[in-house]
Chains A and B, each alone.
Chain A
Amino acid sequence: MMNLEFPKLMSVGWSNRLIGTCSEGIDSEDGQLVFDLRRVEFLAPFGVTMLAATVLECLRQGKACSYRPPESEDTRKWMARIGFDALFLPNAEAALRTSSSVELRRFTDIDPNYVENLIEVMDHHLTLGDEDRAQITMYLVELMQNAKDHAHSDMGYFVCAQAYPKAGNLRISFVDVGKGIPTKLRTLKRYKQTRDDSHLLVQATHAGVTTREDRPGGMGLTFIRRYLRRSEGTLTLLSEKGKVAFQPKKIVQAPWKRVQRFPGTAVDIVMRPGD
């Protein structure tokens, strides 16, 4: 039995530690895994989607998964409310699909209804204007389209969103464990020799950079980045050994040698409605 101990803060800022633990579980040859969340006090959407994707990948590999809930009562209740417990039920996939929560969901296709529901829920916590609604729709639709077209993941992708009324922001996270962005970009001749995954993630946000062969593309991430910058938001991309945070005034690229490898892609968005 392998015990995977998760850190106190499960947010994008602690991604290295979090991804390290998740990768340990995915790569492990042990058939029985325990997701130990006792120390966890704060879970951002990034942490939830990353954890959910890891659990499902381990289940898919035929490993028996169980978890030790957080000692913090608030965190424990929150996890139950968003449907995280459903992952560990015997019929996990079915349970997750029928979950009424719009906060943590798994998809294999683009679902415009989910986008509308999510906006309604977020509007309940933060007052959203027409522009905010349109922007959220755009981010979600583009990320869903990317995950569907490029990730080629059997288990689809996870989405989680959470409004933070006190901070006045909204976090949306996407995770898939399919093909990563750097692997896909290296199929293009001009990026074949590029070693730095973070550099490739930056390139992926440039207009017209795409691996689509049948039609033009390469606009989704470009526009997410552009519109988030206009509204003082942040876009963080993690894929394989790359991690880049597109902040309103600067781009923070993590040195690829120090980044824990994540076999897939994670996108974390922080937006400030009304700005």
Chain B
Amino acid sequence: MCPRRIEEDHKSFRDVVGGKIRKALKKWIKTGNIFKNRGKNGKLSIPIQRIDIPHIVYGDNPSGVGRGNVKPGDVVGKDDSQGQGQGNQAGQDEAEAIMINLDMEEVLKFMQEELALPNLKTKDDECIDEIKIKYNNISLVGPESLRHTRRTMLQALKRMCSTGEINTLHKIPGFKDPVKLITPINSDKRYRQFKEVKFPSSNALIIYARDGSASMEQNKCDVVSDMAWWIDVWIRRFYKRVERMFVWHDVSAAEVSEDKFYKYRYGGGTTCSSALKLISKQFENRFPPNKWNIFVFYFTDGENWANDNELFVKLLKDEFGEKIVNLFAITQIYAYDHKNSVMEAVDQAIVDNVLGDNVKTTEVPLSAASSDEARNKAILRSIREILGAKGSVLEDAE
């Protein structure tokens, strides 16, 4: 069957759709709205505009003619598309959009390009070697199933040439003339042999810690949840084996499950250093820093007992040096301007060169008045800051 003409056109239509997807994705990433959508089953669905060839047409048709046995006043139908977004332009736009499923892998690749997030680095010296088996050696003994036939025959040929055995002619049934034969003996046999190869480690430990005091309200927790999910996805891109640990603290810290991490609220006061103490204890036995790439993400609203800030910085300096953790990121989500906040103290320490490059800080300004978009953009910016993206791609694009 000859190729059909429609196939070419169909393919170019698919390309048009592909272009639309890229555009839509770009828009979504730019506004940060993507951080509210969590991909399920490795797929993320985003809305794209319906594809059509626009002509000059009339707008919404508010009346018309029908037929049937009715009397004036009867309801003959309902426009479902209106629903909640009445008279709202945004509502109309969304009604026209169709949802398209995308692979998370593609989304992440796109994020890498668009947000210019740098690749994460592993620790320089203390990488643990991971052992893998590769069949890249030859031995004289071994099981028959691993016999290397080509090498064996080559060996037999070499041997027979050196002894002159090769010149003897043999009569073989099926052949008219006598032929030369190569016959391997046991000492010619060669076997494949495995060797242990060491690969650099790809273990990562992500520690999420958060302040659980009463001032961490629902909307702040949502920000934590959104950011944590995407950071998680990003880090998993680089490491094969990822362990996660969740630490929650008020006056004292405790390790909790993921569910509880997002749900727990209403603790008493706040001692930020308690979380650091708990985490640093884990490094002794459970997660030795020389075997793990460690990423710590600490979320707070900045309120801390004043004298605790000094202790916090001291602990950061002593226990979370560059050799111990790859990244220590402090995200401060605040609704009002706070003096003497944790971030202020840490920033001061960074300026004074007390802390290393692995400590990063960012803030997510959040107020009741700020719109969803502003919030999403703030999250986007924070993620870029703590993951160490350079330049301001987004601001340029606007």
Query: Are A and B genuine complex partners?
Result: no
B-side residues, CB < 8 A to A, are none
Q: Which residues of A contact B (CB under 8 A)?
A: none
